[in-house]
Amino acid sequence: QHGMTVTPVVANLGPLEALTLNPNPDEVEEVFTLPLAHLLREENQGYTHFRMASGYGYTLPVFLNGPHKVWGLTAIVTELTLELLVPGRY
């Protein structure tokens, strides 16, 4: 919609404790992980409803984990990924 391309990558990185991540602090405030089982629990799934001044509205997924919320483009990609990985459960 805004002229950008996003390419999600799904990978098994092995034990997360062995990884050293160096995210750009201008773009990433915090890194956290969510197990697949957590994402599949209904109590950790939600939706945010947006309404525009024009009356147009839309709904986007949200995934909850304590103080963390996965929302926006990340939540959309997560939802699409869950639909592909576990089609009968999500």
User: What pLDDT digit, counting tens, does each position of 9-59 carry?
Assistant: 888 888 888 888 899 999 888 888 888 999 999 999 999 998 888 888 899
Question: pLDDT band at residue 1, thresholds of 50, 70 and 90?
Answer: low
The three-state DSSP-derived secondary structure of 23-45 is: CCCCCCCCCCCCCHHHHHCHHHE
Burial class (CB in 10 A: 0-12, 13-18, 19+), 63: buried
Residue 31: per-residue pLDDT:
86
pLDDT at 21: 87
Q: Would you say 69 and 30 are in contact if contact means Cβ atoms under 8 Å apart?
A: no
Q: State mean pLDDT over 56-78.
A: 92
In the 3-class helix/strand/coil scheme, how is 50-67 assigned residue by residue? Answer: EECCCCCEEEEEEEEECC
What region does 2 belong to: left with phi over 0, alpha with psi -120 to 50, or beta? alpha
pTM of the model: 0.78
Nearest to 68 by CA among 40, 90, 46: 46
